[in-house]
Amino acid sequence: MKKNFLILILFFYFSNISVYSKNNLYEKIDLFGEVLENIQKDYVDDVDQSEMMDSAINGVLQSLDPYSAYMSPELFEEMQTDTRGEFGGLGIEIGMEAGVVKVISPIDDTPAAKAGIKAGDYIVKIGNEQVQGKSLLEAVKLMRGPVGTSIELTVRRKKVKKPLEFKIERKIIEVQSVSSKIIGEEKNLGYVRLKSFNENSDKQFLKSVKEFEKKSKIKGYVFDLRNNPGGLLTQAINITDFFLEDGEIVSTKGRKVSETRKFFARKGDEIEGKPIVVLINNGSASASEIFAGALKDHKRAIILGENSYGKGSVQSIIPLRNGGGIRLTISKYYLPSGKSISEVGVTPDIVVEEEGDDFSINTDKDNQLNYAIKLFNS
């Protein structure tokens, strides 16, 4: 029954396509039906046809890009629910790459970051469950659970031969998006670490900058976006606008006219042209890449560190009639230069890789930050 229903949906969906394309698609639909019949008849184990259909739908979406996915009614309801402290997380922003869950970035001061999870790690097992073949949202569901309970993650890391195992305790994830301090040998540099682009990031960020500007000794700024997984597009635009006098910040392009837009800076540089160094790494994604890329294109800042993640797309959550939903990519970001961030990221002006096994962001062992400080003294 479910098979026939899906084929009927496909029939109506493709009813407005050219005759040549229709013939090819109808052949594929017939082939799909034939495959389902053979599975039902000959596969070694009994198969839940409903789950198989969900997997087929999810496979279609995941073939588009790593960020599109299907949510069953149960998963969609769970994702929409405000747990209010009932469930905890690990503090990891994840994506999909070639069917494997990849860590975009661990969030500072969360269980994952403290355990040693790094941007670029591939999660191959969650507890006893193999991740290969699961959707991104299924992986998220496995990692969530009651606060105080633990989960074991098995990861693969570049340049490390054996898989690494981490036992991590779930906690409520509360991210303070902005922290700041005075740095430099002469205590004349403003350092602002931006951990995410949430609803209040622009106000917190600007407050930190204005407090620094009251100090006449400040001669430049280091803005740290390492392991910042991004967030709200509006926040990226607002914060970038602080440091540009004019010009384009970012554009989005999609199939719909409403998703094709350009955003421009308003007159006024909050720090009146003082030099800026922006720190990025493989865990800097999405809104972080807009900020870094726009300042780079306008030659307003020196970008230092490692190539960013390369997530330059916008997703929309679309409810479905069955109570489920889909997460679908509806547009892509483009920098002022016209370049897409997707799968490419932002390349630093000065490449400085992490050094040492004891490397830690914003400490004496942070060679990238130390390099940035030296730039102001050269």
Q: Which residues are catalytic?
A: 286, 297, 311
Dihedral sign of CA atoms 93, 96, 99, 102 in order: negative
- Look at residues 99, 151, 119, 167 and name the one whose alpha carbon lies nearest to residue 142: 151
- Look at residues 123, 138, 117, 163 and name the one whose alpha carbon lies nearest to residue 282: 117
Q: Which residue has the tokens 């800026």?
A: 276
Q: Exposed/middle/buried for 46, CB within 10 Å: 0-12, 13-18, 19+? A: exposed
Structure tokens at 148: 């105080």
Q: Exposed/middle/buried for 281, CB within 10 Å: 0-12, 13-18, 19+? A: buried
Type of residue numbered 221:
Y
- In angstroms, the CA 212 to CA 195 distance is 19
- In angstroms, the CA 358 to CA 363 distance is 10
Q: Which residue has the tokens 């006893």?
A: 128
Is 335:342 a contact under the CB 8 Å cutoff? Answer: no
Provide the pairing of β-strand 325-334 with 261-264. unpaired
Q: How far is CA 204 from the centre of its chain?
A: 22
